[in-house]
Structure 1
Amino acid sequence: MKKFLLGAGLGYVLGAKAGRGRYEQLVRTYRRVVDHPMVQGAAGVARAKIGEKLKR
């Protein structure tokens, strides 16, 4: 799901003709989401679970 969202966002940014202002808005939104404590916590849990699966 994360790869799909990243690809969709990247495709929009690269293909958009909305201009630099819209690009900057998207980048700010992305950074705000990625830096949010809940997202960071969920990413840590996901990394831990993947690590457990890979050790088996």
Structure 2
Amino acid sequence: MRYKVTFVVGLALGYVLGTRAGRERYEQLKKSARELAQNPAVRNAAETAGQSGRQFAGKAFAAVGDRVGGVVPGALADRVRGLRGRGSGADDEWGTSNT
């Protein structure tokens, strides 16, 4: 899935940078991308992916911490704790919540 998304993003970027259709087509693409980003389904999917990523990072941090005997740099430990706190289910900067 990751490779498909990367391919689509690369394809879109290549089209935008390589197009000869001009400014009008660029503005159309920009408007379409903005509308897609503001779609509630897309925003919810992005929020879910972010929460899954934070959970995975927390589990990975715990597994690595167990293997290295608790010798994890303090800055990294603070960063992971900060990421864990963001997934609390409260409203985020988008005005959405995990409902």
Calculate the TM-score normalised by the size of structure 1: 0.90
Equivalent residue runs for 1:21-40 within 5 Å: 21-40=24-43
CA distance in 1, matches of 2:41, 2:58: 26
Aligned equivalent of 1:44: 47
Q: Which has the larger radius of gyration?
A: 2
Unaligned ranges ≥5, structure 2: 60-99
String of CA shifts for 1:5-55, please: whole Å, max 9, x gaps.
Answer: 222111100000011110000000000001111100000000001110000
Alignment pair present for 1:4 and 2:15: no
The secondary structure found in structure 2 opposite 1:42 is helix
Structure 1 stretches lacking a partner, 5+ long:
none
Percent sequence identity is 39
